[in-house]
Structure 1
């Protein structure tokens, strides 16, 4: 007997904590379903979606690097994500049976900083990929005053600012950090198996917030440097769990038990004691 399932796809994928998150919620709610990790290369992305179109047990997938923009060309876009965020991180089956894309990254990014007043403030975003698009979309809705983007491809970063109607500037990766109110690493730099993020936070004011979407390792060098400065931080699990919660409801038709977040974080960080995750 088969069971409904959803999965996360990416290249690489072994680092993903999404299976642990969704399996925890499925168990807590007593839902008979599965959540898997599936390694999908860029060359195999189209074939992956084709193989899932006629699978009645497949409820959808989450998408991680490097597929968040490429997947847009392979699924439906009834919500107009291409014209707004320009990247998707979730695909589900629509009522007509077709595959449709959406984005839960923006909501996941927003949730941990919902209490901040960012209107008119200055943010630095590192990276200009699919995650950056969701983050810039959220910042635009929060009324951010100015955004500086650091990226290897400065023209790509400048185009992103323009597409979201944001004031700011695009500078090369590794440029000096301006005294911003919010610093967000939206790139894979600092992730296990990826190059380090070389950065100096000395210019940040004491009330700045440092947000790293990388969660493997959870205590990145960026966050360690912020903690040494006693700056407020948001780690990658906050965004990951937030976006996963929105996707879980789309996949399985039930709200996840967010009152168990502390237990979930301990499950995801076995090498850290209770309360150590920032």
Structure 2
């Protein structure tokens, strides 16, 4: 990499990390650590627990401490936009950033690679997937859902059906992304699946320690592709039931892996591979 976004570390050992609170559960250090070891790169990637009130101060200090960039997770993905010097169009559209590059001139460049990771995961796991095969149905209207909506529209999906327990949040996404979105009441979420070619759970429902996802799947077609952004457990109840109904399923771990690749390439100068060795390392 040779453009002006390529970080130049203050020392021979570039540093990166993931900023969040809490952060101990993050699998990103295992993920990036695996790549650093695989490619023999003298760098480090560390968890950075940061309270919201300290975020701006920490961001000013990190580049001076040898950091070339960072990932950003809950609860900072929206707040980071106001603190960055440059925000990509896709991060601005989604309203959140997950990847920071600390430029040589000290400026902070904010991007969002979640949508890229979502689509790359589907294309790797289900190469036969066709975005224009029929409507997509998205359950949830949080930050992850916004990234999914943006990436599906960009991929050529003609209609996106969306539902959320708080309908106003789904309406807000429709207002921002346009007429290709159709909002369904939460009580009608099962009906939303009728004729849907792609079905996405973009909520935390079904995650370990969370409430289950209670959306009836009676209308789900065996021709549908079903994916869940939750990856703990890897096989969520939604994916198990969809597989039982004959659907092609894609777990959520791949999205985590693929969204990390652009940042790693910028920070450490090597485009990493996403393969089974990586999956095993992150799940270990």
- What is the RMSD of the two structures over their aligned residues, measured on CA atoms? 2.1
Q: Which residue of 2 aligns with 1:135?
A: 148
Tell me how far 1:48 sits from its aligned partner.
2.9
Q: What runs of 5+ residues in structure 2 fail to find an aligned partner? A: 1-10
**SS of residue in 2 equivalent to 1:189:** coil
102-111 or 67-76: bigger deviation: 67-76
13-22 or 174-183: bigger deviation: 174-183
Q: What runs of 5+ residues in structure 1 fail to find an aligned partner? A: 271-278
Tell me how far 1:144 sits from its aligned partner.
1.3
CA distance in 1, matches of 2:51, 2:185: 28
Q: Provide the aligned length of Structure 1 versus Structure 2.
A: 267
Question: Comparing both chains, which one has the higher relative contact order based on Cα–Cα distances under 8 Å and sequence gaps of 6 or more?
Answer: 2
1:56-96: CA deviation from partner (whole Å, max 9, x where unpaired)? x1121112223222211111234334543322110111232
Tell me how far 1:121 sits from its aligned partner.
2.0
CA distance in 2, matches of 1:161, 1:170: 7
Q: Is the counterpart of residue 170 in structure 1 residue 183 in structure 2?
A: yes
Give the direction of change, closer, same or farther, for the CA distance of 1:111–1:130 in structure 2 (3 Å limit): same
Q: Is the counterpart of residue 27 in structure 1 residue 37 in structure 2?
A: yes
> Is 2:91–2:112's contact at 8 Å kept on the other side of the alignment?
no
Tell me how far 1:46 sits from its aligned partner.
2.7
> Is 2:18–2:72's contact at 8 Å kept on the other side of the alignment?
yes
Give the direction of change, closer, same or farther, for the CA distance of 1:174–1:268 in structure 2 (3 Å limit): farther
Give the direction of change, closer, same or farther, for the CA distance of 1:265–1:141 in structure 2 (3 Å limit): same
CA distance in 2, matches of 1:51, 1:150: 41
CA distance in 1, matches of 2:51, 2:210: 17
Q: Is the counterpart of residue 209 in structure 1 residue 237 in structure 2?
A: no
Give 2:282's match in structure 1, choosing from 234, 257, 268. Answer: 268
CA distance in 2, matches of 1:192, 1:251: 32
Give 1:232's match in structure 2, choosing from 245, 248, 256. Answer: 248
**SS of residue in 2 equivalent to 1:119:** helix
Give the direction of change, closer, same or farther, for the CA distance of 1:49–1:120 in structure 2 (3 Å limit): same
Please show how residues 62-141 of structure 1 align to structure 2 within 5 Å.
62-114=71-123, 115=127, 116-119=129-132, 121-141=134-154
Give 2:18's match in structure 1, choosing from 2, 8, 11. Answer: 8
Q: Which residue of 1 aligns with 2:7?
A: none
Give the direction of change, closer, same or farther, for the CA distance of 1:3–1:83 in structure 2 (3 Å limit): closer
CA distance in 1, matches of 2:90, 2:152: 16
CA distance in 2, matches of 1:174, 1:95: 51
CA distance in 2, matches of 1:15, 1:220: 18
Tell me how far 1:172 sits from its aligned partner.
4.1
CA distance in 1, matches of 2:226, 2:22: 26
Give the direction of change, closer, same or farther, for the CA distance of 1:70–1:128 in structure 2 (3 Å limit): farther
